[in-house]
Structure 1
Amino acid sequence: MLKKTLAGLTLGVAMFAGQAMAADYQIDKEGQHAFVTFKISHLGYSWIYGTFKDFDGSFSFDAAKPEASKVKVDLKTASVDTNHAERDKHLRSAEYLNVEKNPTASFESTAVKSTGKDTADITGNLTLNGVTKPVVIKAKFLGEGKDPWGGYRAGFEGDTTLKLEDFGMKGPGPASQELELIISFEGVRK
């Protein structure tokens, strides 16, 4: 009788644990399946696009309970690349990213709110140029499933608009005071 009770209890705990367990993922930056990019107006005449080439991150995700999800991303500010060496040097200076004083930027979620079938608002703290501010990333779930190498993956994208002045920076003109930050990544389940 004791064996049956323990077996039933073990099975019940295992079933309950499997129902609401978020899976942990490592962002796949090595396979070139993750990007942290941005665009900003150049004086109102065109767009400047850029990316950060060196970053890492992880997330937890449960499709049945997206509000329990979490995201953390850290990036090296010196890895900024706009395909123009002199501009990149200027962006690394104390006027903008101040990479000597602030070598990393980070985002860590504090809440996830489902906004639709495959969308959510991810609220979190963004630290950039030594300043930490709450931001909301509009996120979209792209899909999940097995990969050809025996792993399991999930993918997301999201974007937010940042006011440069909130992070101690000033753009070159009135049309260049906001930046759109776009994050797209695929993670491999740990």
Structure 2
Amino acid sequence: MKKTIATSLLTLGLLSGTAAHAEDYVIDTEGMHAFIQFRVQHLGYSWLYGRFDKFSGNFSYDEKQPEAAKIEVTIDTTSVNSNHAERDKHLRSEDFLNVEKHPEAKFVSTKYSGGKLEGNLTLNGVTKPLTIDVEEIGAGNDPWGGFRRGFEGKTKFALADFGIEKDLGPASKEVEMILSVEGVKK
């Protein structure tokens, strides 16, 4: 009996010692090595591009178990920047982001598989599931003694799904988002 317990404990110890461990990263917004950008058609004639200047987040990733990846990002919606002050004021208004009532947007992942990151996006006070197509860009040591890992994600969603009903024409019903995320290992 003692031998069985000892063998079981040894096996458990060996398995836990060889189990893969996720690495935790903080998204590098201080060094501006991460971006959240968007584009939406303007009246069907051109593309309007913008970004959010302030956001924060972290993620966990294990090369041996990528399906266990997790990410959480919080966006300061008041930091919307389309390179035009009057338009940015309009984007912050009740017509779009309604930043007085909802100064933050948030994405929390729930699943990762086959380059698809699923999670919940809360925007304009509405939470909906969202899928992001993800590509790993690379990972390695940086010149400052740290370790970094980078990904790019792309998604699109209907503005109306998040209570944004402003009519800019039929070509402007969806917004595309591009997320370039570089994390520094904690």
> TM-score, with normalisation over the residues of structure 2?
0.91
Q: Counterparts of 2:94 and 2:157 in 1: how far apart (Å)? A: 19
| 1:71-115 Cα deviation digits (max 9, x unpaired) | 10001000000001111000000111000000100000000012x
Q: What SS does the aligned partner of 1:78 have?
A: helix
Check if 1:186 corresponds to 2:182: yes
Q: What SS does the aligned partner of 1:49 have?
A: strand
Q: What SS does the aligned partner of 1:33 have?
A: coil
Q: How many residues align?
A: 179
For 1:99, the equivalent position in structure 2 comes to 99
For 1:48, the equivalent position in structure 2 comes to 48
Amino acid at match of 1:44: G
Amino acid at match of 1:97: L
For 1:117, the equivalent position in structure 2 comes to none
RMSD: 1.8
Q: Counterparts of 1:167 and 1:181 in 2: how far apart (Å)? A: 14
Counterparts of 1:141-160 in structure 2, within 5 Å, are 141-160=136-155
Q: Counterparts of 2:44 and 2:38 in 1: how far apart (Å)? A: 16
Q: Counterparts of 2:179 and 2:18 in 1: how far apart (Å)? A: 29
Distance 1:21 1:85, change over 3 A: same
Distance 1:17 1:81, change over 3 A: farther
Structure 1 residue 15, shift from structure 2 partner: 6.9
Counterparts of 1:69-108 in structure 2, within 5 Å, are 69-108=69-108
Q: Which stretch of structure 1 is more off in the superposition, 68-77 or 14-23?
A: 14-23
For 2:3, the equivalent position in structure 1 comes to none
| Gap regions ≥5 residues in structure 2 | 1-5
Structure 1 residue 14, shift from structure 2 partner: 7.0
Q: Counterparts of 2:95 and 2:134 in 1: how far apart (Å)? A: 30
For 1:63, the equivalent position in structure 2 comes to 63
Check if 1:21 corresponds to 2:21: yes
Structure 1 residue 182, shift from structure 2 partner: 0.8
Q: Counterparts of 2:14 and 2:174 in 1: how far apart (Å)? A: 49
> TM-score, with normalisation over the residues of structure 1?
0.89
Q: Counterparts of 2:81 and 2:25 in 1: how far apart (Å)? A: 26
Amino acid at match of 2:174: E
User: Displaced runs of 4+ in structure 1, greater than 2 A?
Assistant: 12-19
| 1:37-80 Cα deviation digits (max 9, x unpaired) | 00000111110000000000000000111000001000100000
Q: What SS does the aligned partner of 1:105 have?
A: strand
Identical positions, percent: 55
